[in-house]
Amino acid sequence: MASPVLSAQRPLREHSRTLAQATLYASGLGSEVVITYTHSAAGIRVQQLQGFFVGWSAAPSPERHLDLLRGSYAVEVALADESVVGFATAISDGVLSAFIPLLEVLPEYQHRGVGTELVRRLLAQLDQFYMVDLCCDASLEPFYSALGFRVIERGMGIRRYAAI
Ligand SMILES: CC(C)(COP(=O)(O)OP(=O)(O)OC[C@H]1O[C@@H](n2cnc3c(N)ncnc32)[C@H](O)[C@@H]1OP(=O)(O)O)[C@@H](O)C(=O)NCCC(=O)NCCS
């Protein structure tokens, strides 16, 4: 299915005071968990990256996952205890534009606000840029709209599955 491009042109400045690391309670599903957010992949190890890329026909290995975190322009990582439970990445030209290629929260940690917090914190890191774009399925448009994105009709892309 063709995905529209969503663009955030109004950075969420109220989050620009984001700390390098923050610990927050995430409620939902009848229980509360402590989630630590960090915007550095430097301390992340392969063993902490398990269970991601749910539903992908070919999932990148944890080693490749760590490589893409380290290679990104900006990242946000959510941890519960020692395990990574969510992440978001951005790539950028460093001047005008950034793109958010990946966002995922492990299924058992979804619907607790972790995905929203990851994107808020990533947008705070990107708040100097003219454009921040991403592609998503239509079902996720309300999620991203609540974070300041708006639909920009039509986008195109190439997918090389053999490269995963
Ligand atoms: C999208 C995703 C990161 C959201 O993570 P999350 O931690 O559950 O998000 P939040 O708890 O902050 O969600 C806040 C609200 O956004 C909406 N929302 C969240 N995930 C949604 C989804 N997959 N589809 C539609 N709406 C969604 C809901 O209204 C949700 O509120 P609710 O929990 O009361 O229902 C998570 O569903 C995920 O990892 N999905 C698989 C990967 C993916 O689709 N990534 C996005 C690529 S563009």
Local confidence pLDDT in tens for the 164 residues of the chain:
445 788 775 433 333 334 566 777 777 766 788 999 999 999 999 999 999 999 999 999 999 999 999 999 999 999 999 999 999 999 999 999 999 999 999 999 999 999 999 999 999 999 999 999 999 999 999 999 999 999 998 999 999 999 99
* Third-level CATH fold of 14-132: Aminopeptidase (3.40.630)
Report the DSSP beta bridge partners of residue 63: none
Please tell me the predicted confidence (pLDDT) of residue 5.
Answer: 83
Half-sphere exposure of 53 (CA within 13 A, CB side): 16
Q: Record the pTM.
A: 0.90
Atom 43, ligand 1: residue with shortest CA distance: 104
Residue 9 CA to residue 97 CA, distance in Å, equals: 11
Is residue 111 in contact with ligand 1, taking CB distance under 6 Å?
A: yes
Is residue 4 in contact with ligand 1, taking CB distance under 6 Å?
A: no
Cα–Cα separations (whole angstroms), residue 77 to 52, 58, 82, 142: 13, 22, 12, 22
Cβ-count burial of 94 within 10 angstroms (0-12 exposed, 13-18 middle, 19+ buried)? exposed
Q: Which residues contact 62 (CB under 8 A, 6 or more apart)?
A: 46, 47, 49, 50, 52
Atom 42, ligand 1: residue with shortest CA distance: 104
Residue 71 CA to residue 81 CA, distance in Å, equals: 24
- 112 CA: nearest ligand 1 atom: 11
* Ligand 1 midpoint to CA 115 (Å): 6
Is residue 112 in contact with ligand 1, taking CB distance under 6 Å?
A: yes
Please tell me the predicted confidence (pLDDT) of residue 14.
Answer: 34
Is residue 143 in contact with ligand 1, taking CB distance under 6 Å?
A: yes
Pocket test residue of 56, 105, 117, 145 for ligand 1, highest count of atoms within 8 A of CB: 105
Domain ranges, ordered by start, for the chain: 14-132
Residue 152 CA to residue 6 CA, distance in Å, equals: 6
Other Cβ atoms less than 10 A from the Cβ of 157: the count is: 8
Please tell me the predicted confidence (pLDDT) of residue 23.
Answer: 75
